[in-house]
Amino acid sequence: MIKLMLKFEQNFPLSQITTLQIGGPARQFVTVYSQEELIEAITYARKNSLPYLVIGGGSNLLVADAGVNKLVIKNEIEGITKLVRFLKVKSGTPLQHLVDYSIAQNLSGLQKLTDIPGSLGGAVYGAAGAYGQTISDYIREVICFDGEKIISLQNDECEFEYRDSIFKRNEFIILEVIFKLEVGEVKKLRKEADEILEKRLVKYPKGIKCPGSFFKNLVAEKLPKEILSRIPKEMIVYGKLPAGSLLEEVGAKGEKLGQIEIADYHANLFINKGDGKASDFYTLAKKYAVKVKEKFGITLEPEVQLINLPPIF
């Protein structure tokens, strides 16, 4: 029995809430604004044997044109509490709010994550990062719902790796995150963030319809030696071999399929130029991932979450 006033919608077009503006309908859709509502929605789904998917800002999703036969729960549970250097942050808080808040409070450790769209929950799920900083760097504890009860995981229990966490392998829903940040200096932090923002606006101009980088970069030290020996050293950035460089080598830049275009300035950036289709996006991405595999022996892995689409490999 639903006790709270949850507003369920049927056949909700997910293209309305993804940054790519692509995605067919969710069988059911609900937005939640409190932890109680989130747990109520999950409990409702579980009782009715209805699969569910909790999302945040929809900025890392490629949803099939056919949509998804699930209850999609959009998390808008926001709030930040500060205790000296500790911040306790609700998972639906936009990451940018957290970044700006931490800077304003003279706290260092999140400023390089400026301009990454989406919620804190999505960032923790995918271990989001930029310019050598990662959301997990200063996380102390993640409070989550395991489907039945609220539990807490310490940082080392979250299995954070490059764009990876335990949350990609379990069904836990992230509720709140506790950070312990360094003391910083507001002017210096703001300058650092603004310089990054300036660079990012070149790659991601305002209003661009994309899900960020499509494929994960490769951690150089994890690549087999014989593959690494064939890669020019200058291609390695922050210890990563950018997927974009490999895609560029196989001619992906500027390529198109339907309304989907690979940026002519960045081969790992797939843009919806109008009324794009997930099927075209997927076909184009797969085509160039196959070329990379043939040329370099490297299997690219999507960073973006594929919803109701088969794995690329």
Ligand X SMILES: Cc1cc2nc3c(=O)[nH]c(=O)nc-3n(C[C@H](O)[C@H](O)[C@H](O)COP(=O)(O)OP(=O)(O)OC[C@H]3O[C@@H](n4cnc5c(N)ncnc54)[C@H](O)[C@@H]3O)c2cc1C
**Residue with Cβ nearer ligand X (246 or 271):** 271
Residue placing its CB nearer to ligand X in the complex, 19 or 268: 19
Run of H or E residues at 65: none
State how far the alpha carbon of 44 is from the alpha carbons of 49, 55, 147, in Å: 9, 17, 11
Closer residue to ligand X (CB): 13 or 106: 13
Q: In whole angstroms, how close is the CB of 98 to ligand X at the nearest point?
A: 11
Minimum gap (Å) between residue 58 Cβ and ligand X: 5
Q: Which residues contact 242 (CB under 8 A, 6 or more apart)?
A: 217, 235, 268
Name the amino acid, one letter, at 159. E
Which backbone phi and psi does 203 adopt, to 5 degrees? -75, -40
Q: Which of 163, 192, 245, 255 is catalytic?
A: 163
Provide the total of helices (H) and of strands (E) in the chain, helices listed first: 7, 20
Which residue among 91, 136, 213, 245 is the active-site one?
Answer: 213
Q: Smallest gap, in angstroms, from Cβ of residue 147 to ligand X? A: 12
Three-class secondary structure of residue 10 per DSSP? strand
213 classed as catalytic? yes
Q: Cβ 22 to ligand X, closest distance in Å?
A: 12
- Let me know: does 107 contact 85? Beta carbons within 8 Å: yes
The site for ligand X (CB under 6 A) is made up of: 19, 53-61, 75, 91, 116-119, 121-123, 125-126, 128-130, 167, 173-174, 204, 208, 210-212, 305
Q: Tokens for 278?
A: 């997930």
Query: 3-class DSSP state for residue 114?
Result: coil
Is-catalytic flag, 163? yes
Query: Please, what is the minimum distance in Å from the beta carbon of residue 287 to ligand X?
Result: 22
Active site residue 190: no
Q: Which is nearer to ligand X, 59 or 111 (CB)?
A: 59
Instruction: Output the six-digit token pair for 154.
Output: 């310490």
3-state secondary structure of 145: strand
Query: Quick one: 240 or 253, whose CB is closer to ligand X?
Result: 240
What is the DSSP pairing of strand 256-257 with strand 260-262?
Answer: antiparallel
Which residues belong to the active site? 163, 213, 303
